[in-house]
Structure 1
Amino acid sequence: MSDLEFDILDELYFLIHFDDLKKALGLSDEDLKPLLSKMARKKWLRCYSEPDVELDAASIDIEIGYRNYYYLASKEGLKAHNS
């Protein structure tokens, strides 16, 4: 796990919108998008279209919709973060 992945997971203990995540980490869209995509492939995070609407893994399109999503660490992500 990279330092940035660790920092992202730190922020994902609670549901957070992309804009707030980006601001909290001080990263640009171009820096954050590939990390989120990689973490989604590892199943370390869950994506929501609205605070109460979780997206099915098959319907997540990080390449296009990443700016509109809310993010939350998955069980796998929390395990990786705490190992």
Structure 2
Amino acid sequence: MLADERRQQILFSLADDPSPTTPGSPPDAGGSEIGVRVAQYHTHLPKRADHGFVRWTPEENVLEEGTKFEEIRPVLELLEEYRE
């Protein structure tokens, strides 16, 4: 769940500010960030949502803490402490 840095970043952002947010727009055109956006929209966010760590509504592109977010908060805090 936390092996990929982009997946970690999604969770770190929610740990810092748990209010509902927009994680970025879904991919719709070419560009240097297209691969990152495609992976976020089709892989990273759905995986976090499937495991209950986030609640993500793709139609509205709203992201918030999921029902199991508190289970991973201690791990996120530890990772953040030793991030460098």
Structure with bigger strand share is 1
Residue 15 of structure 1, aligned match among 20, 28, 44: 20
Structure with bigger helix share is 1
Larger Rg: 2
Give the superposed CA RMSD.
2.5
Count of paired positions = 61
In structure 1, stretches of 5+ residues that fail to align are 21-25, 49-61
Scaled by the length of structure 2, what TM-score is found?
A: 0.55
**Identical amino acids, percent of aligned pairs:** 11
Bigger RCO (CA 8 Å, 6+ sep): 1
Scaled by the length of structure 1, what TM-score is found?
A: 0.55
Structure-2 change in CA distance of 1:29 and 1:7 (3 Å):
same
- Read off the aligned partner of 1:15 and give its amino acid letter: P
In structure 2, stretches of 5+ residues that fail to align are 26-32, 76-84
